[in-house]
Amino acid sequence: MPVQVRGEVVSVRRAGQYHVLTVTAPGVPEVARPGNFATLAIGDLDSSGLLLRRAFSIHGVQSRGIYGGTIDLVIADSGPGTHWLTQRRRGDVLDIVAPLGRPFALPRDPVSCLLVGGGYGSAPLVFLAEALRERGCRVDVMLGAATEEKLFGVLEAKRIASTVTITTDDGSMGEAGLVTDSLRAAIDRAATDVVYACGPMGMLAAVADIATEAGVYSQCAVEESMACGIGVCMTCVLPVIGDDGVTRMLRSCVEGPVFRGDRVRWDDVGTIPSDTWGAPVEEGRQR
Amino acid sequence: MTRAVVRHTTGPAAVPAIDMSTRLGSVGLPSPVLTASGCAASGRELDEFFDITSIGAVVTKSIMLEPRSGRATPRMAETPSGMLNSIGLQGPGIHAFLDRDLAWLRERGARVIVSIAGGTTQEFEELARILRDHGGFDALEVNISCPNVADRGQVFACRADSAAGVIGGVRRSTDPDIPVFAKLSPDVTDLGTIALACVRAGADGLSLINTTLGMVIDVDTMRPALAGVTGGLSGPAIRPIAVRCVWQVRDVLPEIPLIGMGGIRNGSDAFEFILAGADAVSVGTVVFHDPSAPARVHAELASIAADRGFARLRDAVSYAHREADPVPEDAAGDDLSLPEWV
């Protein structure tokens, strides 16, 4: 169950093109699971014209220490709201709602897991890798980004994973190309049982397809634009096939952000497929 | 170190002595603060952040007869002090709503105002009949800002005759003890005429305002930001429009119950609507900023009204419409002649 708490900024540090925000969040570290996310308000509404909270997957948690419970969030400075967050300083107070969303499903048995991150989509993967290692799972990591600057978490991944494969579009670090280019080979090499992925929609679509083709289960955390993050606004929907075979427009904030890769209709994201539950049959009429 | 957990906000420690109860037609409510349709789903998610039985009522997301997928994404764009949305009334249809959502709200003990939407007058009437036969709610809000299938998609709320047609049909199909509120659009030339037409057709009250139509173009893609091209603008950006609408309708209809909404962030904003003539207020888009906002707004509103000397919040309703304050007695004899340079 999520809580709304006022947290104090402990630190904001740069990591490549990103910022890692550490903030106190009483009650959150104990219940947060890898794949959960947090939302932050951008200032208060008396002074801020930015109404909507910003959502970030939880990169890590510390349940105790001199600051009590804290969480780490990775922020890309990509607009006025996220820029404001990168300018916070130690002691500033933030309004936090967390943990939100369905976390990654963890295997019961010590299986072989391959974690794929695109850009700062790798933010939840170290948190996930730690949970998998605790269960005795083998963990391999593949990280990709446009450039070296846009990679995140390479050192942390190297610390925890059996192997780390780096890919950049321009070849500024690791192999030149897309992270998905060598995915099939990596699955075969590590005898992967489960692929976990977080990153841009195009990457997730490719990861899910390759995993499904290889007969491997995949768990994908989507990055959809959200207004509320708690399931009331219906803006973050995408077409997902249910256990009954019916496609529904599901909310990535509460029914996701983690979905089974073989259940999301990746090619139809951004549309309402005509066989969706409740899709328009003809102009102005509903099924 | 600040560590206040704000879940289940109970407001300031010193609870102001003020009667916050209000009436919406035949229904009495212990608080004038409601959720806004489309900003609270069916209350379940918000109940994790504040006690939904503590506010006046939950106004549910507009429900239609059949399950509905809604529109393609992107459905939302942030705007200065607001947001644009084009959801397309995604929902499970009336039967799943009754079985799942309304049943939960009743079990939880919340007061419920059910919002209904339709593409034809007949669909609105059918919804009202199904709800009448089912019961278990306190009032109806009729979302007439829907495209009218029979009128090239023009929204019902934009014309007095089509608005009145829907409201008359719903009123006839609803238990006489259940108040029917018409939710009006601000995108009209003369709101007073449409408000009057709805009341003459049998509306027990009016909800003011729905979103106002807007548009955002993404300058990177150089295309409309929303898949639905245009969308409804909500949030603090539209509050002055909403306050104006409540004021104007209150002038035309001094006695009719009004629910005011549009960009309420805090108790002070809510108090503006009360002063303009609202008997109750809906807290909508700000819930996306602060999920415990309805409970917070209730506490802040109580404190502000009590500070102004009101023992009962309903005495503040329409207070801004009062006649000019009399000249104080001790000033009556003052020489108020103008300086000679005027």
Q: Count Cβ neighbours within 10 Å for each residue of B113-126 and write b for 16 or more, e otherwise.
A: bbbbbbbbbebbbb
Taking residues A156-177, what's their average pLDDT?
95
Q: Which residue of B has its CA nearest to A230?
A: B45
Extract the tokens encoding A117: 């991150």
Entry pTM: 0.92
Q: Using an 8 Å Cβ cutoff, are A267 and B136 in contact?
A: no
Of A223, A245, A274, which marks where a domain is finished?
Answer: A223
Does B334 reside within a domain? no
- Identify the residue among B1, B10, B120, B223 best suited for mutation to test binding to A, counting A beta carbons within 10 A and taking the highest: B1
Phi, psi of B199 (to 5 degrees): -70, -40
Extract the tokens encoding B340: 């000679």
Of A199, A223, A247, which marks where a domain is finished?
Answer: A223
Q: What is the tens place of the pLDDT at every residue in B90-149?
A: 999 999 999 999 999 999 999 999 999 999 999 999 999 999 999 999 999 999 988 878
A75 with A173, same domain: the answer is no
Q: Which of A45, A230, A269 sits opposite B291 (nearest CB)?
A: A230
A154 with A181, same domain: the answer is yes
Does B333 reside within a domain? no
Q: Which of A6, A233, A287 sits opposite B4 (nearest CB)?
A: A6
Q: Is the four-CA dihedral B78, B83, B86, B88 of positive or negative sign?
A: positive
A214 with A129, same domain: the answer is yes
Per-residue 3-state assignment (H helix, E strand, C coil) for B217-230 = EECCCCEECCCCCE
A126 with A176, same domain: the answer is yes
- Strands B223-224 and A285-286 turn out to be unpaired
The confidence score (pLDDT) of residue B14 equals 58
> Contact A232/B41, CB-based, under 8 Å?
yes
Q: How many domains does chain A have?
A: 3
**B245 counts as catalytic:** no
More confident residue, B206 or B150: B206
A188 with A286, same domain: the answer is no
Q: How many domains does chain B have?
A: 1
The confidence score (pLDDT) of residue B107 equals 97
> Contact A232/B74, CB-based, under 8 Å?
no
Per DSSP, helices labelled H in B135-266 are 160-172, 191-200, 239-252
Taking residues A173-180, what's their average pLDDT?
94
The confidence score (pLDDT) of residue B91 equals 96
Between the two ends of chain B, the Cα-to-Cα distance in Å is 59
A200 with A247, same domain: the answer is no
Task: Kindly report the nearest CA distance between residue A200 and chain B, in angstroms.
Answer: 15
> Contact A284/B147, CB-based, under 8 Å?
yes
Q: Which residue range forms the structural domain that includes residue B56? A: 22-71+88-213+234-321
Q: Which of A45, A97, A235 sits opposite B76 (nearest CB)?
A: A235
**What CATH number is associated with residue B152?**
3.20.20.70
With a cut of 50, say whether residue A72 has pLDDT above it.
yes
Q: Which residue range forms the structural domain that includes residue A171? A: 104-223
Q: Which of A31-40, A122-131, B147-156 has the lowest mean pLDDT?
A: B147-156
Q: Which residue of B has its CA nearest to A2?
A: B48
With a cut of 60, say whether residue B6 has pLDDT above it.
no
Chain A residues with CB under 8 Å of B290 CB are 4, 41, 45, 95
Q: Using an 8 Å Cβ cutoff, are B139 and B131 in contact?
A: no
Separation between Cα atoms, residue A67 and residue B244, nearest integer Å: 48
A30 with A80, same domain: the answer is yes
A176 with A147, same domain: the answer is yes
> Where would I find the beta strands (DSSP E) of chain B?
22-24, 27-29, 33-35, 58-59, 76-79, 82-85, 112-116, 139-143, 180-184, 205-208, 212-215, 217-218, 223-224, 230-234, 258-261, 280-283
- Strands A70-76 and A54-62 turn out to be antiparallel
Of A191, A223, A255, which marks where a domain is finished?
Answer: A223
- Identify the residue among A234, A255, A269 best suited for mutation to test binding to B, counting B beta carbons within 10 A and taking the highest: A234
A86 with A119, same domain: the answer is no
